[in-house]
Chain A
């Protein structure tokens, strides 16, 4: 047992010490958090204020459009020539086409392309104004119209838990995120196991090692050592990413929505609300329940527990198969034909997991959440969604454990023959024979 600990230690420490580990550990969160923060930052800052000239020859739009901080409107009934527009301080010109009430179309000319955010403000304001004009034309009361147009708030309840609103879909998305993460980690570290095995074979150190330890110890030591590297990296990623996101969003928020600053600029609470509304998309009111509801409904300890279980189980299963492949081949190029059948179920799992988000009760989703090759990823979605009964979860877990015991046994038998086999093109048939060689 001491020997396997030594092997685990070596596999762990040599990888953690590598500069690439440090780079990956830092780069991952920087890319994830950086990407999110950058989009948030770009969305929150508009470098230029757009002065929009709206050409409205038919006088469709009433007196004025609501200005925002970034977009100021001016309405003119006269047509402006291009050269006049170019010479003017206006940055954007919108020509409402004739008969805009029946054929809703307008042309937008710009000097500098407005951001997507500014563009949606312009579109929203114009749409609202045109809508009002149409209502006026048709003699419809604005309030009556608003009442008619109010969307149906369809709240979902699980009959077993009538007191709480169900956010199954939203939770499924979170589950999918976990599943996707698992996919990447299993694959990344499984391939590292394969590479490690091949390295030992190519270095010709493997026979020296197995004169001291059993091949199975060597294989398991490598698999466990690399799993520890993966877990450490995973934990570090989560810590660094959340810290960076927390600090980053706080910085951006204080930069943008500084209430005092807004007050100084004479922006009223009304406009602030308007601003938030615009950011939330097409007139969607900011509903705290909608955002926090799914999170509150997630059984976080269960999800994390299930994640850890399926991650370890799935990793053991796939990495032992990949270790067997690594032991059987002489070079990286020979791995292709063997990698293919191993990657297929993983990719299938991701596709089915995506399907599970929208159609959790389909038979394909059910079966693939039970069958061990795909169950880690698909079951993750079902558990997050709460659509997997306990017996199914248990069955899937037991099958996974049984399978990874089976695959490690199988891999161990291929491995101990494969690592000593040089210069031989190996086929599936050949590997099958190895299973029956005597110790």
Chain B
């Protein structure tokens, strides 16, 4: 488990992070979200010990993190690249050895991994001969080769075609199942919903949202239900009376779908009780907001003034 406690980081007059608290649970995928320039990369660099915080500390499994912990981390930065003139195999080997692996062990694992990902004949190619997607694959491999306990991926899917992105997605879930803690920074909200158990959203140097993805989505739910019915729309709308407000509907012949916001103090049961005599209800589902919408809501609602006035959670 990784805990950031009261992290503050300033660059001159600019405050990149202020009093950031965040918990990344063990063996889960954690999504680090936020608009560009919010301070995500700075937080990642503090956790990877590339820079140090001005205030606060990072705990790993309850004890302060040390330089030795870096050996058990894999970090794929957003700004990533390879030496263009070096050969792929030689370079992967070099990066693996910098992580502290022995030459023999690194060679063995690399060969095995190259074969598994259909890269067997890349070993002696120069990096400049690879396509961007191919280079990304090499970078991903060098990030996970030393079997880190904590994997930090900054925009891991950018530059991948759908097939390779799927390969990486599967690999992330595999690693999670093996007990690896994954920290994922991405702008792709569908990936967040699909992969992440927990998230933290940073904006203007502050944590705006933090917790379980399902809980957060539920918390942002606005009591809107989607009711599928067969029958007359007007009859349905009249039947609602004060239990709910019809905020949208579509009809296809006899079949219709209505979006209904619950009235004050009413439950979905109250709504159904009113509707059942009027129309034939075929299905009911609560509308849970997408992460995409939550992200936009949170980020557009916060202005720097609000943040400094203490509008954080």
Contact = CB atoms under 8 A, between A and B. Distances in A.
Query: Are A and B genuine complex partners?
Result: yes
Interface of A: 2-3, 6-7, 10, 14, 199-200, 203-205, 207-213, 215, 416, 420, 422, 433, 437-439
A438 B54 contact: yes
Contacts of A207: 50, 75, 77, 79-80
A205 B81 contact: yes
B83 A211 contact: no
Given A211-B48, A211-B70, A211-B75, A203 B97 contact: no
A10 B82 contact: no
B52 A6 contact: no
B273 interface: no
B59 interface: no
B12 interface: yes
B73 interface: yes
B139 interface: yes
22 contacts: A6-B94, A6-B98, A7-B98, A199-B83, A200-B83, A203-B83, A203-B84, A205-B81, A207-B77, A207-B79, A208-B75, A208-B77, A208-B80, A208-B139, A211-B77, A212-B95, A212-B98, A437-B11, A437-B12, A438-B52, A438-B53, A439-B51
Contact of A208 (B12, B45, B95, B100): B95
A208 B81 contact: yes
Contact of A205 (B12, B52, B80): B80
Nearest to A422: B79
Contacts of A6: 94, 97-98
B63 interface: no
Given A2-B100, A207-B75, A211-B73, 14 more contacts: A6-B94, A204-B79, A204-B81, A205-B81, A205-B82, A207-B77, A207-B80, A212-B70, A212-B99, A416-B51, A420-B45, A437-B11, A438-B52, A438-B54
Interface residues on B, range: 20 to 34
Nearest to B50: A210
A216 to B, nearest CB: 12
B85 interface: yes
Nearest to A203: B81
Interface string B140-167: 0010000000000000000000000000
B86 interface: yes
Nearest to A217: B98
Nearest to B152: A211
Closest 3 CB pairs of A and B: A204-B81, A207-B77, A211-B75
A115 to B, nearest CB: 48
Contacts of B94: 6, 10
Interface string B42-80: 000100101111100000000000000010010111011
Contacts of B48: 211
Contacts of B75: 207-208, 211
Listed residue (A2, A213, A420) with the most chain B CB atoms within 10 angstroms of its CB: A420
Interface in B86-106: 86, 94-95, 97-100
A243 B79 CA distance: 50
Contact of B82 (A203, A438, A439): A203
B263 to A, nearest CB: 52
Nearest to A421: B11
Contacts of B73: 211
Contacts of B70: 211-212
Nearest to B45: A420
B126 to A, nearest CB: 12
A393 to B, nearest CB: 41
Contacts of B86: 14
A211 B53 CA distance: 16
A209 B100 CA distance: 12
A211 B41 CA distance: 13
Contacts of A204: 77, 79-81
A343 B41 CA distance: 36
Given A14-B85, A213-B98, A433 B12 contact: yes
Contacts of B76: 208
Nearest to B13: A433
Listed residue (A199, A205, A422) with the most chain B CB atoms within 10 angstroms of its CB: A205
Contacts of B51: 416, 420, 439
A439 B79 CA distance: 21
Nearest to A437: B11
B52 A439 contact: yes
A362 B274 CA distance: 107
A3 B94 CA distance: 10
Contact of B83 (A7, A205, A416): A205
Contacts of A205: 80-83
Nearest to A207: B77
A433 B54 CA distance: 15
B98 A209 contact: yes
A212 B86 CA distance: 19
Nearest to B73: A211
A2 B70 CA distance: 15
Contacts of B83: 14, 199-200, 203, 205
Contacts of A422: 79
